[in-house]
Structure 1
């Protein structure tokens, strides 16, 4: 089992609670490793992955995750950090939003902010990565509203089917990882206060 654990790093302290579920802990780290380690040179580069992770961390407003992913991004592309910060600040919202199909959950339909990368983001990061940030915002805040036209927008920007699957896996993993780490950090703070 790997000794390094990103979730523990984001929380700031290893919690005894996580030791009770060693397989779950190991699998979460393996998911991180699969998405961020041993990435072969290709169209969906490691720097693009860290750019998306920095953006998603900022959408979640989780300081230790922002620092972690932004530091990794700066190793590859330091000038992107400011662009990602400004894009995320303009994209911040609450949620999730969206509409359910007709049925009992319709009463839970909510509307909220949608965000699209502006020309400055596209000029700085490229059309392909800008489209990924727009899609990431959709997955974080409007998961119920995803439809085929959103995938077509990614394809038009240069994303292959395999890359779209990996992008979706990346954002889903980050949402899981960040929410888990935020919850554990809250538990650790409560425990320390008692």
Structure 2
């Protein structure tokens, strides 16, 4: 099992509670490592992944994750940090939003903010990464609105099928990781208050 644990780092303190599920803890760490260590895909570089992780962390409003991923990004591409911050501020919302197919869940349909990368962002980061940020916003705030046309938009921006799968895995993992760390952080604060 890995010694370093990203979720413990994001929580700010290792929790005894997590030791009860060593396999789950180890698998979460291995997922992180698979997405951020030894990245060989030149079409979806580590700096692109860190930009997306910073963006998604900012969408979730989780300061520990923002600091972690942004610091990692600054080591590889320092000028992107401010650009990502501005994009995330423009894209921030609440959610999730979206429409369910006709049926009993349609009463839960909600309309919410959609976000697209503007020309300035596309010029700064490139069409491909800007499209990935838009897709990340969709997966965070409008997951049930995702449809094949959104994948086609990624392809039009230069993403191939393998990169699209990895992008979707990355955003899904980040949503899991950040929500788990936020929940554990709240639990730690609650237990510390006792």
Judge same fold: TM > 0.5, yes or no.
yes
Q: Which residue of 1 aligns with 2:36?
A: 36
- Correspondences of 1:61-72 after superposition (within 5 Å): 61-72=61-72
RMSD: 0.5
- 2:79 maps to 1:79: yes
CA change 1:150–1:41 in 2 (3 A) is: closer
- 2:123 maps to 1:123: yes
User: 2 CA distance for matches of 1:43 and 1:110?
Assistant: 35
User: 2 CA distance for matches of 1:169 and 1:2?
Assistant: 21
Shift of 1:6: 0.2
Q: Which residue of 2 aligns with 1:45?
A: 45
Stretch deviating more after TM superposition (75-84 or 39-48): 39-48
- Correspondences of 1:1-194 after superposition (within 5 Å): 1-194=1-194
3-state DSSP of counterpart to 1:121: helix
User: 1 CA distance for matches of 2:120 and 2:191?
Assistant: 44
Q: Deviations for 1:8-35, whole angstroms, at most 9, x for unmatched residues?
A: 0000000011000000000000000000
Q: Give TM-score scaled by structure 1 length.
A: 0.99
3-state DSSP of counterpart to 2:189: helix
Shift of 1:120: 1.0
3-state DSSP of counterpart to 1:184: helix
User: 1 CA distance for matches of 2:23 and 2:168?
Assistant: 24
List runs of 5+ in structure 2 lacking aligned partners: none
Q: Deviations for 1:63-90, whole angstroms, at most 9, x for unmatched residues?
A: 0000000000011100000000000000
Q: Deviations for 1:137-174, whole angstroms, at most 9, x for unmatched residues?
A: 00000000001111111000000000000000000000
User: 1 CA distance for matches of 2:99 and 2:145?
Assistant: 7
Q: Give TM-score scaled by structure 2 length.
A: 0.99
List runs of 5+ in structure 1 lacking aligned partners: none
